[in-house]
Structure 1
Amino acid sequence: MMMMNATSNTTNTSCVIMTQSAGNLLMSIYIIAFILGLMFNLVTIGPIIQQICRRNVLGIYLLSLSISDLLYILTMPLWIYYFSKNHFWDLGQGLCSLAGFFYYSNLYISIFLLCWISIDRCLAITFPLRVQAFRRQRYAWIICGLVYIFVMALHCLVLYLDKLSDPLDNQNRCYETFPMTERIAMFNLIRVGIGFLLPLVVISVCYWLIPNKVQQSRGVDEQGKRKVRLLSMGVIGIFSFCFAPYHILLMVRSIAFFSVGEKESCYFEQTMYIPFTCSLALSSLNSVVDPVLYVLASNGVREDMRLICCKNKQRQMTGSPLVDSKWKTRVTNLS
């Protein structure tokens, strides 16, 4: 699942010329993703834990997403520093490997967890009685653990097989080596298929079945139907905006390599460099969108956040003669 192009022995270091303007654009995207992602995940993690304490299965998936997002977000300052130095990495081989490991791990952990959440919702709505016994917290923890183990084990295997003890090329670039090799191009096509296209098909089928089933149900009110539509559009939106551009361009680069060959692909790589690196940066925004999407889609988490805000206002207004007794009563009822 890792990029696997960090140690090409046939690398032509002058194949792609990086510019500071491109670095500034990437740095801006990562700064926005770092600030908003850190803020949103820290704000929502408390209410999500409360949902887990109430034995809400969705809360476990949300917490797993938040942990993965936070691990990646903590490496973002390394990428911001790297782009501020015009693609010059002087922080050592270990930090380069660590930053790349958490980036690609988060990318595919998020994809597979979003895929499983979609499957869980689809089964719960389509076959509510049959799957009730399997929608337990124990199984949710096991599924999240398996996703983490599967993705991270593959990345560790890639690090070992690709001999990434020196992930920097001789221009001190971290995970930016051009052109790719035949092995890397084939591997990229495989991970596009398994890591993106397959989950996208599964999610599309799930969110095609869910609205149809809900629409036919007379026991679901309009607000519930609207929430289902919001969740459906939100997940598809994450895949379309955050994940699709990167994987589509990765597939195009890999196909182009097989078409023109390694020696002739430098011009194409130079043309594709800015769109491809921007798509890579856009994929980092999933760490911002994940908590927003599921807080809006989950009544429980949203009510917990509203309750916390009400309690904070109550503390600030305690002892003030301007406190309205009716407001106090409303806050007490929410508690």
Structure 2
Amino acid sequence: MMNATSNTSNSSCVIMTQPAGHLLMSIYIIAFILGLFFNLVTIGPIIQQICRKNIWGIYLLSLSVSDLLYILTMPVWIYYFNNNHKWSLGQGLCSLVGFVYYSNMYISIFLLCCISIDRCLAITFPLRVQAFRRQRYAWIICGMVYILVMALHCLVLYLDKLTDPLDDSEQTCYETFPMTERIAMFNLIRVGIGFLLPLVIMSVCYWLIPTKVQQSRGVGDQCKRKVKLLSMGVIGIFSFCFAPYHILLMVRSIAYFSVGEKQSCNFEQAMYLPFTCSLALSSLNSVVDPVLYVLASNGVREDMRLFYLKIKQRELRRSPLVDSKWVREDKENQLGLKPTLGLVK
């Protein structure tokens, strides 16, 4: 059941949904555990790719850092939802986690867009773009994405004078209803630039990549199917994670201009549960990012196998219980006298 109260005379609309709190907690707990695990597991091999001058590794590392920052805010939101949407951690922490949460959502989106463009150019125009695919340029692009998104977020907060996102009357954090006219307009711009534009760019890139690979005679049918499935998977999961939130955000903003601020409270009550669930759904992108972009890469996958094989070999050398036969075989592997498991394709 939804328990909502409104005070239209004060231009406020208070919405409380206890069932949504339990559902949101479940989604965030799953995203936190799996996202933290997958990103930490893959960050070592990604750094190895950067050391080998792999430009794609820079984008993947920047994406992992963004996802980890995004993930580290989740325990605070889990506590918030478990406390029935009552914020008791202070205004400063509310401002900080909200800023990190929403900023890194769009940092992730634009980095995914950069990865798609880089991969598309490298496959479709390999010789023409070779001079521009430098590590220095990749670092600059990633830095510009971080700075641009955070600067725009700060500008919006400043223009709307949202220095206090904590609602004093209801003690809610970043949940003030209804929205203002300026915020509604900004939301429409955010949907267009922050979601629709990257979606179109990524769709074009992942349409060109399979088309180019399909025309190549030196690529096997199995590899062509893999490229096609990966392209469809990236667009599908990107849409699954981000489309519901941005569609409902657009609907809420259009409804605000249609019915006005005073009459929008009832609509906000009806949209609150699906909207907050769609926002939580977007957090699952931090789980699938390393799976799609890291594990799907042959180079990174091989680095992961070598990385954790070295760790296992070090543990075997340090263990006093290791049989002399294992020690002897390990030395033979290092000398190249026997093939090591996992290194032979």
Query: Does the alignment reach a TM-score above 0.5?
Result: yes
Contact 1:295 1:302 in 2 (8 A): yes
Contact 1:314 1:331 in 2 (8 A): no
The two structures have a TM-score, normalised by structure 1, of 0.91
Q: Cα offset for 1:138?
A: 0.9
CA distance in 2 between partners of 1:87 and 1:93 (Å): 14
Check if 1:331 corresponds to 2:334. Answer: no
Say which is worse superposed, 272-281 or 252-261, in terms of deviation: 252-261
Change (3 A) 1:194 1:9: farther
Say which is worse superposed, 75-84 or 260-269, in terms of deviation: 260-269
Paired residues for 1:183-262 under 5 Å: 183-262=182-261
CA distance in 1 between partners of 2:17 and 2:226 (Å): 44
Q: Cα offset for 1:90?
A: 0.9
Q: Cα offset for 1:333?
A: 8.2
Unaligned stretches of 5+ residues in structure 2: 1-7
CA distance in 2 between partners of 1:279 and 1:297 (Å): 27
Paired residues for 1:164-175 under 5 Å: 164-169=162-167, 170-175=169-174
CA distance in 1 between partners of 2:301 and 2:342 (Å): 16
CA distance in 1 between partners of 2:11 and 2:104 (Å): 27
Give CA deviations for 1:244-302 in whole Å, capped at 9, x if unaligned. 01000101111111111111111111111110000000111111111111122211110
- Of structures 1 and 2, the one scoring higher in RCO (CA 8 A, sep 6+) is 1
Q: What is the aligned partner in structure 1 of residue 12 from structure 2?
A: 12
**Aligned mate of 1:62, from 54, 60, 63:** 60
Q: Cα offset for 1:239?
A: 1.7
Aligned residues with identical type, % of pairs: 80
Counterpart residue identity of residue 89, structure 2: L
Paired residues for 1:41-120 under 5 Å: 41-120=39-118
The two structures have a TM-score, normalised by structure 2, of 0.89
Contact 1:47 1:301 in 2 (8 A): yes
Q: Cα offset for 1:199?
A: 0.7
Give the number of equivalent residue pairs. 326
Counterpart residue identity of residue 188, structure 2: L
CA distance in 2 between partners of 1:171 and 1:267 (Å): 18
Say which is worse superposed, 145-154 or 161-170, in terms of deviation: 161-170
Contact 2:177 2:265 in 1 (8 A): yes
Change (3 A) 1:217 1:79: same
CA distance in 2 between partners of 1:312 and 1:183 (Å): 54
Give CA deviations for 1:78-127 in whole Å, capped at 9, x if unaligned. 10110010000011111111111111111111111111111111111111
Change (3 A) 1:164 1:126: same
Q: Cα offset for 1:317?
A: 4.8
Contact 2:22 2:82 in 1 (8 A): yes
Q: Secondary structure at the match of 1:88?
A: coil
Q: Secondary structure at the match of 1:28?
A: helix
CA distance in 2 between partners of 1:135 and 1:314 (Å): 36
Change (3 A) 1:25 1:331: same
